């Protein structure tokens, strides 16, 4: 948030008529919808002078941002006066009017950003092939790419014992100091100005961080060279190098402007990007959400995002939470309320007296979880709390004054003392913060909230329940089973509920100093009480950025976290995206021997089944201090109110209440440590980079020199059959069903993520190219290679295909009757020239926004998906890649229609498609039934007719 004057280049509509007006920005402090240029804008002004009076006063703040952008970008071509009027008349047009929106900037992270950049590089090739100028292909607005998701935890639990360190050093004492001279706290000395306030000894950069970063840089060198080529060749691309922090947090702390300043003009900051958790910045009053790689590429090329004017749900917060409730508990409580209220595809906007009780970091934590309750975004308008936060983080006073004046002038500043009252909302949900209790979420989904006081009874109930969203179906006589574990010279007992993985990770919490400091203070009290974490539990601490390590170090709690095994392993999404690293063979063997339901506890935002690793069947999301607490307990089968965490050296029971830090303790440390210097340190790190990044060689040619031997970067095949003009949509004739799926199939089931299984189709591909399993890396790191990603599509071990009858990444190739990997079956179908469809149930494609969840099926040969309902973002991605989203009529599904999925299906498209038109689907059994072509608007139909967004844009450039 320090870079208010970040350079911004106006959009260049290079492939549109030269007469198209340029973007219009209006002068400082001119109220929205009241300053117009001549021509189209004058016409809008004349026709709305009467209508606009008072309407903008009652619009939700998030809709006012859309209105401001519409006024500023109204050009009569991409954005017309009817669009402005529709936004202004939001009460009447919500849920059905389609409007364009021009975000101010784009944010990419490397996992989802590299496909976007690879597509742009490939588009340059396609444009040249069609006779166009490849130099025209470049982002037309600020585009920031943060390299954060490729981090894997190769090293953790750095040496904590003097004898172990000496032995590892070949018997020689290592160079370093012992903080306070205690065993278990060796730290190599490095130059640092920080002092541990408890022991007055230098606090180093964690050694584990350096070792993990070195490995990350080595295994991802090809990707990093490609990124550096992008930053050199594409205008408006800025790279945030590895080891800096994760995209959402860097966006919040460094990239967010709140108000853009350009050539003496001010306008609101807004952003879209390739990750659903872009919404984090909404806590700072910056409008933003994730739209996936395909739509993001369109914005990068000067096109608007098209959205249906949303319903805006007002969430009124009242009261204040009790001292034992963290912001994560508030997040999980609000998540449950909003999910139950049904806010999918809507904007949520917070108001009420309780909002002022939440700090900005609390707000950003709540906004970050927005995709988990299905809303498009969750917006906290700028208010006095926001300004105070910006001031404390070193924001320039003059800029703050200018920002405040501007926001108030354009009615984008929220005040509790406003005489005009709150905006009008589509509906209002009221949540009393006093009613929220400490909770966790799990064991398989983030929306399944469990009160900590009920954790033990709930887990035991899950053991007995049938296999499903919660149950594990363990026989009653097996629920007390325990297995011996011999680990590093000691013997332990593992039983159902045993914690084998505990990770403080993900931007959901790391942006919030209060919960991170609470975890550190709890660790301090635990260590001082003589408590420890069993060594077989894989523990890690993956902060969102170096800022977190900075304040954990300067507050003196980091050594205590390290003593419990929570070593800083690096900066980026690690455990949360499946980059866990393998558990020990001893643990794996014990778990398999006892068929145990072991657990992972993490302070992340994803806990879908099978995401962490095969042997972790139950995963719970929890606040950072509770992650530490469960790690110390070693099990989730515990009642913290009545059962101790352990005993002190004197044999006295130690309960969680004995070591839980008070809110006053946390606030005292937070106010003393989260200072402007922390943000300045991050700014310096981003802008100076590191030696590895600065010395990395990369080409600077107009076209990227693709290496045919590369297994990381590959020119995708999306443009292989591109012609100058689009052909009419082909009918789907005698298509086989590749997969017959049920309800709630998530993008985790579809899109490749996590480690690459040695028995997978992707592993076979890499092995055939001379790679060993140690060199496979992860799917996320190889998102720039479509051959790997296509083979990893539907490769999730928890995929439940009705053809197979049990979780497995398998399907049936019906012409031969063989049961094969999904990719192998699809490959056979393509060789035979047989088109494919997918049949699914409700909420197909729910979860994170991932473009490969659409690209992968497209490259497998899928022409259409037939589902009962869709997650909105994923359905847009299907259209954007050229897959037809078909929907059963209300009340119908595959079962009610008697479909087995073993039939073949045929469908013809009319010459003139229209949104929501019904079509006739015919099967090889003679059955015919009606389906809805679920296109939202004419834009989606145009994209589908072009074969997807990429083909559409490439044709415009040529």
**Could you report the per-residue pLDDT of 217-228, keeping only the tens digit for each?**
777 788 889 999
Mean pLDDT of 619-646: 94
Query: The tokens of 712 are what?
Result: 């990381």
Higher per-residue confidence, 221 vs 792: 792
Region of poorest pLDDT, from 79-88, 175-184, 691-700: 175-184
> Does the pLDDT value for residue 868 go beyond 70?
yes
Find residue 939's DSSP bridge partners. none
Q: Which ranges constitute the DSSP H helices of 425-512?
A: 455-464, 507-510
> Does the pLDDT value for residue 160 go beyond 60?
no
The residues, ordered by sequence, that sit 6+ positions from 408 with a Cβ below 8 Å of its Cβ are none
Higher per-residue confidence, 766 vs 847: 766
Residue 113's pLDDT band, with cuts at 50, 70 and 90, is: confident
Specify the pLDDT at position 6: 27
Q: How many CB atoms are located within 10 Å of the residue 199 CB?
A: 17
Specify the pLDDT at position 676: 58
Tracing tokens 């984008």 back to the chain, one arrives at 412
The CATH number of the domain covering residues in 441-450+481-671: 3.30.499.10
Q: What angle do CA 15, 122, 126 make, to 5 degrees?
A: 55
Query: The tokens of 441 are what?
Result: 């979420």
Helix axes 207-219, 221-233, angle to 10 degrees: 80
Specify the pLDDT at position 28: 30
Mean pLDDT of 345-359: 91
Which three-class secondary structure state does DSSP give residue 485? strand
Name the DSSP letter for residue 435: G
> Does the pLDDT value for residue 458 go beyond 50?
yes
Name the nearest CA neighbour of 524 among 557, 551, 500. Answer: 557
Residue 40's pLDDT band, with cuts at 50, 70 and 90, is: very low
Mean pLDDT of 642-667: 91
Tracing tokens 């022991």 back to the chain, one arrives at 199
DSSP string, 532-564: ---TTSEEEEE-SBHHHHHHHHHTT-HHHHHHT
> Does the pLDDT value for residue 603 go beyond 90?
no
Residue 562 phi/psi, 5° resolution?
-65, -40
Query: The tokens of 734 are what?
Result: 């005698």
Q: Which ranges constitute the DSSP H helices of 130-200?
A: 162-168
Give the Cα separation of 698 and 701 in Å (integer): 10
Higher per-residue confidence, 868 vs 877: 868
Give the Cα separation of 803 and 821 in Å (integer): 12
Name the nearest CA neighbour of 822 among 840, 854, 850, 799. Answer: 799
Mean pLDDT of 78-95: 92
Q: How many CB atoms are located within 10 Å of the residue 93 CB?
A: 16
Mean pLDDT of 218-243: 87
Query: Domain limits of the chain?
Result: 441-450+481-671, 732-957
Q: Give me the percent of the chain exceeding a pLDDT of 70.
A: 82
Region of poorest pLDDT, from 196-200, 467-471, 497-501, 520-524: 196-200
Give the Cα separation of 812 and 736 in Å (integer): 10
Mean pLDDT of 279-285: 93
Q: Are 675 and 203 contacting, i.e. CB atoms less than 8 angstroms apart?
A: no
Tracing tokens 């936004």 back to the chain, one arrives at 87
Q: Are 307 and 936 contacting, i.e. CB atoms less than 8 angstroms apart?
A: no
Structural domain 732-957, CATH architecture: Alpha-Beta Barrel (3.20)
Mean pLDDT of 57-64: 94
Specify the pLDDT at position 358: 85
Q: Are 955 and 942 contacting, i.e. CB atoms less than 8 angstroms apart?
A: no
Specify the pLDDT at position 182: 32
Specify the pLDDT at position 42: 41
Give the Cα separation of 608 and 618 in Å (integer): 9
Q: Are 409 and 31 contacting, i.e. CB atoms less than 8 angstroms apart?
A: yes
Side-chain-side CA neighbours of 305 within 13 Å: the count stands at 31
Most confidently modeled of 254-258, 515-519, 741-745? 741-745
Torsion sign (Cα): 495, 501, 507, 513: positive
Query: Peptide bond preceding 356: is omega within 30 degrees of 0, i.e. cis?
Result: no
Mean pLDDT of 100-114: 89
**Could you report the per-residue pLDDT of 713-739, keeping only the tens digit for each?**
999 989 988 888 888 889 999 999 999
> Does the pLDDT value for residue 77 go beyond 80?
no
> Does the pLDDT value for residue 101 go beyond 50?
yes
Residue 55 phi/psi, 5° resolution?
-70, -40
> Does the pLDDT value for residue 164 go beyond 60?
no
The CA-based diameter of the chain, rounded to the nearest angstrom, is 86
Q: How many CB atoms are located within 10 Å of the residue 505 CB?
A: 30
Query: Considering the chain, what is the average pLDDT of its residues?
Result: 82
Residue 334's pLDDT band, with cuts at 50, 70 and 90, is: confident
Torsion sign (Cα): 118, 121, 124, 126: negative
Expressed in angstroms, the distance from the first to the final Cα of the chain is 39
Higher per-residue confidence, 673 vs 258: 258
Give the Cα separation of 779 and 776 in Å (integer): 9
Residue 161's pLDDT band, with cuts at 50, 70 and 90, is: very low
Q: What angle do CA 163, 164, 166 make, to 5 degrees?
A: 65
Specify the pLDDT at position 169: 34
> Does the pLDDT value for residue 404 go beyond 50?
yes
Q: Are 619 and 612 contacting, i.e. CB atoms less than 8 angstroms apart?
A: yes
Name the nearest CA neighbour of 325 among 179, 81, 93, 514. Answer: 514
Side-chain-side CA neighbours of 786 within 13 Å: the count stands at 21
Residue 641's pLDDT band, with cuts at 50, 70 and 90, is: very high
Specify the pLDDT at position 677: 57
Residue 492's pLDDT band, with cuts at 50, 70 and 90, is: very high
> Does the pLDDT value for residue 287 go beyond 60?
yes
> Does the pLDDT value for residue 918 go beyond 60?
yes
Tracing tokens 């006073």 back to the chain, one arrives at 397
DSSP string, 826-868: HHHHHHTT--EEEE--SSBTBSS--THHHHHHHHHTEEEEEES
């Amino acid at each position: 948030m320090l870079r208010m004057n970040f350079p911004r280049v106006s959009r260049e509509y290079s492939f549109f008529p030269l007469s198209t007006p340029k973007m219009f920005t209006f002068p400082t402090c001119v109220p929205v919808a009241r300053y117009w240029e001549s021509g189209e804008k004058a016409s809008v002004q004349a026709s709305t002078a009467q209508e606009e009076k008072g309407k903008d006063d009652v619009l939700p703040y998030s809709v006012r941002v859309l209105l401001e952008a519409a006024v500023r970008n109204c050009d009569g071509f991409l954005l017309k006066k009817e669009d402005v009027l529709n936004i202004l008349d939001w009460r009447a047009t919500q849920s059905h009017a389609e409007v364009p929106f021009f975000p101010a900037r784009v944010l990419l992270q490397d996992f989802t950003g590299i496909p976007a950049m690879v597509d742009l590089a490939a588009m340059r090739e396609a444009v040249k092939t069609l006779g166009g100028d490849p130099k025209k292909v470049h982002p037309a607005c600020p585009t920031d790419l943060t390299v954060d998701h490729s981090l894997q935890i190769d090293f953790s639990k750095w040496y904590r014992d003097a004898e172990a360190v000496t032995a590892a050093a070949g018997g020689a004492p290592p160079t370093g100091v012992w903080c306070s001279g205690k065993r278990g706290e060796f730290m190599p000395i490095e130059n640092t100005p920080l002092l541990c306030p408890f022991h007055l000894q230098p606090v180093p950069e964690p050694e584990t961080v350096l070792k993990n970063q070195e490995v990350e840089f080595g295994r991802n060198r090809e990707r990093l060279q490609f990124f550096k080529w992008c930053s050199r060749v594409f205008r408006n691309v800025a790279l945030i190098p590895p080891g800096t922090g994760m995209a959402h947090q860097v966006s919040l702390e460094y990239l967010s402007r709140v108000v853009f300043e350009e050539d003496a003009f001010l306008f609101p900051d807004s952003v879209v990007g390739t990750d659903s958790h872009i919404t984090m910045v909404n806590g700072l009053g910056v409008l933003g959400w994730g739209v996936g790689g395909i739509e993001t590429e369109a914005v990068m090329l000067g096109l608007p995002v098209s959205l249906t004017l949303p319903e805006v749900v007002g969430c009124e917060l009242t009261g204040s939470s009790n001292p034992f409730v963290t912001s994560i508990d508030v997040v999980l409580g609000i998540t449950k309320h909003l999910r139950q209220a049904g806010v999918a595809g809507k904007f949520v906007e917070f108001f009420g007296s309780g909002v002022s009780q939440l700090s900005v970091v609390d707000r950003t934590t709540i906004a970050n979880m927005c995709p988990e309750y299905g809303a498009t975004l969750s917006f906290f308008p700028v208010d006095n709390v926001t300004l105070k936060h910006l001031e404390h983080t070193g924001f320039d006073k003059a800029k703050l004054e200018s920002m405040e004046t501007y926001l108030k002038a354009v009615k984008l500043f929220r005040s509790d003392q406003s005489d005009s009252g709150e905006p009008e909302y589509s509906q209002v949900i009221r949540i009393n913060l006093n009613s929220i209790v400490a909770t966790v979420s799990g064991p398989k989904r983030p929306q399944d909230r469990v009160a900590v006081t009920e954790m033990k009874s709930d887990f035991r109930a899950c053991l007995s329940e049938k296999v499903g969203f919660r149950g594990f179906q363990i026989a009653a006589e097996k629920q007390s089973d325990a297995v011996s574990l011999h680990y590093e010279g000691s013997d332990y007992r593992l039983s159902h509920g045993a914690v084998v993985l505990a990770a403080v990770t993900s931007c959901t919490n790391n942006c919030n100093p209060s919960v991170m400091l609470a975890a550190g203070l709890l660790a301090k009290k635990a260590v001082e009480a003589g408590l420890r974490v069993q060594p077989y539990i894989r523990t890690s601490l993956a902060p969102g950025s170096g800022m977190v390590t900075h304040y954990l170090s300067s507050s003196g709690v980091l050594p205590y976290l390290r003593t419990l095994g929570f070593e800083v392993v690096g900066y980026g999404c690690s455990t949360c995206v499946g980059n866990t690293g393998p558990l020990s063979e001893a643990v794996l063997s014990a778990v398999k021997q006892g068929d145990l339901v072991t657990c992972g506890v993490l302070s992340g935002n994803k806990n879908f089944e099978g995401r962490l690793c095969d042997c972790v069947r139950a995963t719970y999301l929890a606040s950072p201090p509770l992650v530490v607490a469960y790690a110390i307990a070693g099990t989730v089968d515990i009642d913290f109110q009545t059962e101790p965490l352990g005993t002190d050296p004197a044999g006295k029971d130690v309960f969680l209440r004995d070591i839980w830090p008070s809110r006053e303790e946390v606030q005292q440390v937070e106010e003393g440590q989260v200072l402007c210097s922390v943000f300045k340190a991050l700014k310096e790190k981003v802008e100076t980079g590191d030696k590895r990044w600065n010395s990395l060689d990369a080409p600077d040619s107009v076209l990227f020199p693709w290496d045919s031997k590369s297994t990381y970067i590959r020119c995708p095949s999306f443009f292989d059959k591109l012609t100058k003009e689009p052909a009419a949509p082909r009918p789907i004739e005698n298509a086989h069903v590749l997969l017959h799926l049920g309800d709630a199939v998530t993008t985790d089931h579809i899109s490749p993520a996590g480690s690459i299984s040695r028995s997978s189709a992707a592993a076979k591909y890499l092995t055939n190219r001379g790679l060993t399993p140690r060199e496979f890396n992860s799917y996320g790191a190889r998102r720039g290679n479509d051959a790997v990603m296509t083979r990893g599509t539907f490769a999730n071990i928890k995929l439940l295909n009705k053809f197979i009858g049990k979780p497995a990444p398998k399907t049936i190739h019906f012409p031969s009757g063989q049961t094969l990997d999904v990719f192998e079956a699809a490959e056979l179908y393509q060789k035979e020239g047989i088109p494919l469809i997918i049949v699914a149930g409700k909420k197909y494609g729910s979860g994170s926004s991932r473009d490969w969840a659409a690209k992968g099926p497209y490259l497998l040969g899928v022409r259409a998906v037939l589902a009962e309902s869709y997650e909105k973002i994923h359905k847009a991605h299907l259209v954007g890649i050229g897959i037809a989203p078909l929907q059963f009529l209300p009340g119908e599904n595959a079962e009610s229609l008697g479909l087995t999925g073993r039939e073949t299906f045929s469908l013809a498209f009319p010459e003139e498609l229209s949104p929501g038109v019904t079509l006739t689907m015919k099967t090889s059994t003679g059955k015919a039934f009606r389906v809805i072509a679920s296109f939202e608007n004419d834009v989606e139909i145009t994209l589908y007719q072009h074969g997807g967004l990429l083909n559409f844009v490439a044709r415009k450039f040529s």
